[in-house]
Amino acid sequence: MNKDSIKIFCPATIANISCGFDVLGLALSAIGDEMVIKKVRNPGLSITKISGLDLPKEIHKNVAGVAGLAFMEASEYKGGFEIEIYKKIKAGSGIGSSAASAAGAVWGMNYLLDSPFSQHQLVQFAMAGEKLASGVAHADNVAPAIYGGFTLVRSTEPLDVIPIHVPKELYASIIHPHIEIKTSDSRKILKTSISLADGIKQWGNVGALVAGLYQEDYGLISRSLVDHIVEPIRSILIPGFDEVKHEALGAGALGCGISGSGPSIFALSKGLKTAQKVTQAMSKVFENMDLSYDPYVSKINTKGIQIMTL
């Protein structure tokens, strides 16, 4: 195997998962970017190619560059790296576009150096990219991209990531309406404090969702996929949100909410057939509104970033 160059799949991710703002996330199989990382003799980091999106190649302005620099500062490696980024996840779509690039860069570099860093450390490096993208070093997209499956970020300072069991029959539907919402903008509209009553409801749901995932109790998962805090505010930014959610639940989804900071809307279902039906029902709303969109049905990606053949 040529260990000087690697091509990888960097999954899209759903952050928050209704009740777990900034702490819960999951990785998807059906959508993701591709990246090629090369080890080169000349020291330093460069982004040699970006396709699919108009993004800066300057290292300090690119999330993969910034995350890669954090990696290189901590590494004893004396050579350099070149990065090619093939974006399939649109920017401002709410399914972890920046996280895929940041996580992919550090994961690939680590692999080419024979893995000197742990997954935990890679998440820390990738968070530098998220800070550049949204102003906040949140880890709820980069953690599932790197660990795979569901993750819970108990704390970012110090970082504490807990991988969570993935029930076998769980599938995700994602509808990405073609409007762009910047994470930084959709964070600005949130309140900085919440009522004790809302807090009680919210942490009851987070705890129960984690228990439901471990017990593969789909009823409990369904009852817990509720967001009393962020969704009521952010959903105003997404045309047709209430109707899409209504249709998803009507078609049998366990729950439905905003994917990350939106505008993508996700639903979780038990079984592929139900997930397909749910995706169709959600799509219909945007069709009736004449709003273009991309629909996806995906397994939960338990592996995270994966090697592809070059």
**How many CB atoms are closer than 10 A to CB 276?**
16
Strands (E), 41-125: 44-51, 80-86
Which among 129, 33, 28, 29 has a CA at the least distance from the CA of 87? 33
Per rule CB under 6 A, is residue 93 in the interface with ligand HSE? no
The active-site residue, picked from 13, 151, 156, 183, is: 183
Q: Between vectors from CA 19 to CA 18 and to CA 24, what angle results, nearest 5°?
A: 85
Concatenated DSSP letters of 183-218? HHHHHHTS-S---HHHHHHHHHHHHHHHHHHHHT-H
Per rule CB under 6 A, is residue 183 in the interface with ligand HSE? yes
Per rule CB under 6 A, is residue 131 in the interface with ligand HSE? no
CA distance 128 to 46: 17
State the nearest-atom distance from the C-beta of 130 to ligand HSE, in Å.
8
| Binding window for ligand HSE (CB under 6 A); candidates: 73-81, 138-146, 193-201, 282-290 | 138-146
Q: How many of the chain's residues bind ligand HSE (CB under 6 A)?
A: 12
Per rule CB under 6 A, is residue 227 in the interface with ligand HSE? no
**Touching ligand HSE, residues 10-69 (CB under 6 A):** 15-16, 21-22
Among 62, 92, 127, 140, binds ligand HSE (CB under 6 A): 140
State the nearest-atom distance from the C-beta of 22 to ligand HSE, in Å.
4
Amino acid at residue number 232: P
Active site residues: 130, 183
Which parts of this chain interact with ligand HSE (CB under 6 A)? 15-16, 21-22, 96, 138, 140-141, 183, 187, 260-261
